[in-house]
Copies of this chain bind each other. A is one copy, B any other.
Amino acid sequence: MSEECKAETALDILVGKWKPVILFHIFHKGTLRFSELQRLIPEISKKMLTTQLRELEYHDIIHRKVYAQVPPKVEYSITEYGKSIAPLMNSMHEWGLAHVKHLQEIYGEEALEKRSK
């Protein structure tokens, strides 16, 4: 790998089982608090949310603003640079939609859930 295929780099950043959803919500609402994200994504654990946000922050995709106050308040937003993945996210979204249909055509409606890969 390495040289030839930097698609991996992109994937590394988007991967993590929750980053797409997190990004989706932050993109959509502009700015969100930690607790708001928890509410929007009930299935995610605190730990996961924390680590995923940290990774996105490290990659300069989102910005983390801490308000020095009690009770604490932390807001997450897309960075200027972070906006550059929007087109890519959309492309993936589009392709994903089309692919779901394609799988249906091949395997039929039932096999949808199995995800046996």
In the complex, A48 has a CB within 8 A of chain B: no
| Chain A residues bordering chain B, tally (CB within 8 A) | 45
User: A92 contacts B7, CB within 8 Å?
Assistant: yes
Closest to A90 in B: B7
Residues of B within 8 Å of A98, CB to CB, are 84
In the complex, A103 has a CB within 8 A of chain B: yes
Chain A 42-76 interface 0/1 with B at a Cβ cutoff of 8 Å (1 = within): 01000000000011001110000000000000000
User: Out of B10, B89, B93, B95, which one reaches A96, CB within 8 Å?
Assistant: B10
A sample of 9 inter-chain contacts (CB < 8 A) reads A5-B93, A6-B100, A8-B21, A9-B97, A54-B117, A81-B102, A84-B95, A88-B91, A91-B91
